[in-house]
Structure 1
Amino acid sequence: MNEKNLEVKINENDIVPAQVIKVNNKTITLKTEDNEIITVDRPKSTIKDKLFLKTMIDILRSGIWIPVNKKLKQLLRYDWFDSLEEYQFL
């Protein structure tokens, strides 16, 4: 397989704001503006991060909206003020 086949195309319609509605050790459940429920796996890069779950719980309590890729079911490291090419997933 060449690299072009491995690339995942990011459609900007797949990036949506969502509110965290449930947090546990393995998954984060979010609700979009259209009331769609999305469950994402906890990013592997955060397994040893002691502040990640505390931060997710703070986000849940505050009710703020965070960017999520609903197609790939991934949280974004940065918000949508950055250009689409600069999005990085956790």
Structure 2
Amino acid sequence: MTYIPLSGLSLRDIEYVVAVDDLRNFSRAAERCGVSQGGLSEQVRKLEALLGVVLFERSRRRVTLTPEGARLIAMGRDVLTAA
């Protein structure tokens, strides 16, 4: 199991990945978060690079969560609830 530190993440980063998980669509997640799709996608890519893990498998038609992504998002939902 890969250790995923949350210490370098902002609440906004967590909100973005939770929105993508909820909606399984980057465009709709960006709309929910009030940002451009490109901006949200870039922030998720930066987050993945920072953490050293891929959170979402992306294809033209689908977005699916990786096992590492599922662990991070579960922790992220807890953080958002506590905040």
TM score, norm. by length of structure 2: 0.30
Q: Greater relative contact order (Cα 8 A, min sep 6): structure 1 or 2? A: 2
Structure with greater proportional strand content: 1
Normalised TM-score (structure 1): 0.29
Counting helix residues as a fraction of each chain, which structure ranks higher?
2
Which structure has the bigger radius of gyration? Answer: 1
